[in-house]
Amino acid sequence: MCENMEIIEKYIVKIGMCDDDLENIKLVAKQLESEIINQNFNAEITLITDDQEKVFESVKNGDIDILFLDIDFKGKGKNGIDFAYELRLVNREFSLVFLSGHQRYMHVSFCVKVFDYIVKPINKTILEQLVSRFKQEYIINKSKFLTLNKWITVRIEDILYIEKDGNKCNVVTGFATYSTTINLNALLDRLPPYFIKCHRSYISNTKRIAAIDKKEQYIYFENGSKCPINSYFKL
């Protein structure tokens, strides 16, 4: 359980950048960092790499909220479109920004839920507009986050289910489990309508359900975890 955490004043948005041209992406990262500071966006670049395996693990573990991904990998790794399909299989929620020297793949990029498609070279105006949109997506829209206590804030879309555990509740995401003293009904009141009470001691995120076993009375989530349901449960 994650009970003793450093105080989080705001959610820190984690940005990753992946390009086979490391020198170029490092220059873009410096420009992006400058714009992040200018707009007072609570974000940090946590990964700059040409290693797709590192990116895959980071995305899978929920360590990246926004990924800048080059489409045109040369010599090593998969092209950006194919790689993005693999990333979406392990994490549907991160924001994906494609980088490319041309518009050739723009029409297929939206099949992998792309946030933006940027044609190189990248200039200050593009980054300015992009950071402004990121702020709207991650900070201004506070309904995307659930505060559990003064230490812990989680992104709502990351929650799989919530279980009552004595006088506490355990909020289970695809990456970790967090404990809170807020009761189950109070948590339900703070969540969007697609969160439902599937059992007297459980709330489930219906958007993250992978399968329903009505015979055994369980629902299964994308990461293989499960929680019980009432006999009359239905979506």
Where are the domains positioned within the chain? 13-140, 145-228
Q: Give SS3 for 3.
A: coil
Comparing 37-46, 143-152, 198-207, 212-221, the range with the smallest average pLDDT is 143-152
Q: What's the pLDDT tens digit per position in 39-48?
A: 999 899 999 9
In whole numbers, what is the pLDDT of the chain averaged over residues?
Answer: 86
Provide the pLDDT confidence category of residue 142 given band limits of 50, 70 and 90: low
What is the structure's pLDDT at 186? 92
| Tens-place pLDDT, residues 164-202 | 999 999 999 988 899 999 999 999 988 988 999 999 999
Per-residue confidence (pLDDT) for residue 130, from 0 to 100:
95
- Does pLDDT of 4 surpass 70? no
Number of CB atoms found within 10 A of residue 72's CB: 17
CATH number of this structure's domain 13-140, picked from the four choices 1.10.3720.10, 1.25.60.10, 3.40.50.2300, 3.40.190.10: 3.40.50.2300
The H or E element spanning position 154 is strand 153-155
How confident is the model over 103-109, as a mean pLDDT?
A: 79
pLDDT tens digits, one per residue of 108-127: 777 888 999 999 889 999 99
My answer on whether omega of the bond before 121 falls inside 30° of 0, hence cis, is yes
203 or 139: whose pLDDT is higher? 203
CA dihedral 43, 47, 49, 51 (to 10 degrees): -130
State how far Cα 232 lies from the chain centre. 32
Q: CATH assignment of 145-228?
A: 2.40.50.1020
pLDDT of residue 143: 59
Reading the block at residue 72, the tokens are 């045109």
- Residue 139 is predicted with a pLDDT of 64
Say what the pLDDT of residue 175 is: 81
d(Cα 117, Cα 135) in Å, to the nearest integer? 18
